[in-house]
Amino acid sequence: MAGILFIISAPSGSGKSTLVTQLRTLVEGLDFSISYTTRAPRGSEENGREYYFTTRQEFERMVAADDFLEWAEVFGNYYGTAVAALHHAKDLGKDLLLDIDVQGALQVMKKTPQAVSIFILPPSPQILEKRLKNRSAAEKVTDESIIQKRLAGARNEIKQVWDYKYALVNDVLENAVAEMRAIVLFERGDSECESLANGCRTDAASLKLKTVLSAFGEDLPDFHR
């Protein structure tokens, strides 16, 4: 296997974790990097499964020791991808999937231009708000300010979509999973997935992508008008 690095970013609540979980049941040979974070575990999260939960002090020690491929502060907490995750995937002969925010993604794209970047969008701000609220209710968190912070963050992050090679809209889950699978397989050389994957290229700027961006009040760059 080629050892492809896939970067996946999405505004919180877009359904990235749901998509990635399904993708991993459909596609073999994908290793998933477990990030370090200083935020507290949420819901049923376990140390070493969703994240390595750590202290700010330990995180800063790792930054100083150059242990991270990238790191960023997101919503007041540190998050980082350990260089060790790359070595681990390579040793296993697998491709590696990074679930990281746009700040981290830009760092990785700069260091590793051959990385394949995918941005996941929710269908509209209204649906994003609904998904954030549903998830909070399921986790028994009722802090409205967290939801508003994440919605505002989403509007900012979405501006970066053109820096990514692919963008997909998580409207109907099965369709989004099929598109993500097609991108991974096409990047591995499976030409049968070419048309579905190419439809998601940001430089193709599909009508679906343009519609979502305009729902978020985002202007299209000149070259896509």
Could you give the 3-state DSSP secondary structure of residue 159?
helix
Give the start-end residues of each E strand in 45-160: 51-53, 68-74, 77-82, 95-99, 116-121
Site size with ligand 5GP, rule: CB under 6 A? 14
Give the start-end residues of each E strand in 102-209: 116-121, 166-169
Q: Of 14, 22, 35, 202, which lies in the binding site for ligand 5GP, with binding defined by CB under 6 A?
A: 35
Q: Which of residues 52-71 bind ligand 5GP (CB under 6 A)?
A: 70
CA distance 158 to 108: 18
The burial of 144, by beta-carbon neighbours within 10 Å (0-12 exposed, 13-18 middle, 19 or more buried), is given as: exposed
31 DSSP assignment? E
Amino acid, single-letter form, for residue 135: R
CB of 139 to ligand ADP, least distance (A): 9
Q: Which of residues 99-128 bind ligand 5GP (CB under 6 A)?
A: 99-101, 103-104
CA distance 14 to 170: 7
Token pair, residue 140, equals 């028994």
CB of 191 to ligand 5GP, least distance (A): 30
CB of 11 to ligand ADP, least distance (A): 7
Choose the contact partner of 13 out of ligand 5GP, ligand ADP, none; CB within 5 to 8 A by kind: ligand ADP
Q: Of 6, 32, 79, 186, which lies in the binding site for ligand 5GP, with binding defined by CB under 6 A?
A: 79
Pairing of strands 51-53, 35-37: parallel
Q: Of 74, 96, 209, 212, which lies in the binding site for ligand 5GP, with binding defined by CB under 6 A?
A: 74
Angle of the 16-26 helix axis to the 173-187 helix axis, nearest 10 = 60
Q: Of 80, 118, 135, 181, which lies in the binding site for ligand 5GP, with binding defined by CB under 6 A?
A: 80
Residue nearest to ligand ADP (CB): 15
CB of 108 to ligand 5GP, least distance (A): 9
CA distance 137 to 57: 32
Do 160 and 198 meet the contact criterion of CB atoms below 8 Å apart? Answer: no
CB of 203 to ligand ADP, least distance (A): 24
Choose the contact partner of 72 out of ligand ADP, ligand 5GP, none; CB within 5 to 8 A by kind: ligand 5GP
Which residue ranges make up the site for ligand ADP (CB under 6 A)?
10, 12-18, 131, 134-135, 170, 173
Q: Which residues bind ligand 5GP (CB under 6 A)?
A: 12, 35, 39, 70, 72, 74, 79-81, 99-101, 103-104
